[in-house]
Amino acid sequence: MIDQQKQSRLKRNRKHTPWQMSMRYILLCLGLLIMVIPMVYMVSSSLKPNDIAFSYPIRLIPTAQEATLSNYDYVLHQKNFFTYVGNTLIVATATTVFSAALSSMLAYCISRFRFPGRNLLYSIIITTMLIPGLAMLVPQFELAVTFKLVNNLWGVILFYTAWVTPFSTFLIKGFIDNIPRELDEAIYMDGGTVFTIYRRVMLRMASPSIAAVSVFNFLFAFEEVGWSQTILKKDELRTLPVAITQFFQAHNRTDWGYVFAMTCLAMIPVILIYVLLQRYFISGLSSGAVKG
Partner 1 sequence: MKRHVGIQILVVLIAAMMMLTSFACAKTPAAPAAEATEAPAAEVTEAPAPAAEPVTIEFWHNYSESDGQIAVLDELIAKFEADNPGITVEPVYMEWSALHDGVVAGATTGTLPDVLRGDIAFVPQFGALNVLVDMGALPGYADVAASVLPSANSTTSMNGSNYGLAANTNTKILYYNKTLLDAAGIAVPTTQDEMWNAASALSGDGKFGFVEAWTGWWNVGPYIWSNGGDVLSPDYSTATGYVNGEAAVATIQKLADLYAAKALTGPTMDPGAIGDTDGWASGTYAMEVDGPWRGNALNSAGIEFGAVPLPKGTASSTSVLGGEDFMMFASSSDAEKEAAWKFIQFMVSEDAQVAMAKVGQMPVSIAALQNADALAAMPLLPVYVEALQTAKSRPVIPQWSEIEGIVATKASEAITGVKDAQTAMDEAAAEINALLAG
Partner 2 sequence: MSTRFSRAKSFFKRKDNIRMLALLFPGLAVIGLFTFYPIIKMFVMSFFDWKIGYQQVSQFAGLMNYAAVFSDKAAGIAIANTFYYMLLTVPLQMIIGLLVALMINGIRRFTVTFRLMYYLPVITSWVVVALLFRNIFSNQGLLNYFLMDVLHVTNDPIGWLSTRWPALTATSLLGIWKGIGWNMVIFLAALQAIPGEYYEAASIDGLNRRQQFFRITLPNIKGTILFSLVMLIIGAFNTYTPIMVMTGGNPAHQTEVVLTWLYYQTFSVSGKMGYAAALSFLVTAIISVLAVLLFKVFSPQKEERKS
Contacts to partner 2 from residues 211-230, by CB under 8 A: 219, 222-223, 225-226
Out of 24, 148, 233, 251, the residue judged to bind partner 2 by CB under 8 A: 24
Residue 159 interacting partner from partner 2, partner 1, none (CB closer than 5 to 8 Å by kind) = partner 2
Question: Under a CB-based contact definition with an 8 Å cutoff, are residues 213 and 172 in contact?
Answer: yes
Residue 238 has φ and ψ, to the nearest 5°, of: -65, 150
Residues that bind partner 1 (CB under 8 A): 2-3, 51, 54-56, 89-90, 93-94, 96-97, 100, 137-138, 141-142, 145-146, 150-154, 204, 207-208, 210-211, 229-230, 233-236, 246, 249-254, 276-277, 279-280
B/e letters for 43-52, b = 16+ CB within 10 Å, e = fewer, are bbbbbbebee
Options 49-57, 62-70, 73-81, 89-97: segment touching partner 2 (CB under 8 A): 49-57
Question: Under a CB-based contact definition with an 8 Å cutoff, are residues 212 and 171 in contact?
Answer: yes
> Contact between 132 and partner 2 (CB under 8 A)?
yes
Q: Nearer Cβ to partner 1, position 13 or 151?
A: 151
> Contact between 89 and partner 2 (CB under 8 A)?
no
What would the x/- binding string for partner 2 be over residues 151 to 190, using CB under 8 A?
-------xx-xxx-xx--x-----------x---x--x--
Q: Nearer Cβ to partner 1, position 154 or 188?
A: 154
- In angstroms, the Cα distances linking 46 to 84, 243, 247, 249 are 19, 17, 15, 18
> Strands, DSSP E only, in 61-163?
none
Q: What is the spatial distance between Cα 44 and Cα 34, in angstroms, rounded to a whole number?
A: 16
Residue 44 interacting partner from partner 1, partner 2, none (CB closer than 5 to 8 Å by kind) = none
Out of 140, 217, 228, 239, the residue judged to bind partner 2 by CB under 8 A: 140
Chain length of the chain: 292
Positive or negative, the CA dihedral 277, 283, 286, 290 is negative
Q: What is the spatial distance between Cα 90 and Cα 154, in angstroms, rounded to a whole number?
A: 10
Question: Under a CB-based contact definition with an 8 Å cutoff, are residues 73 and 92 in contact?
Answer: no
> Contact between 102 and partner 2 (CB under 8 A)?
yes
Q: Nearer Cβ to partner 1, position 125 or 176?
A: 176
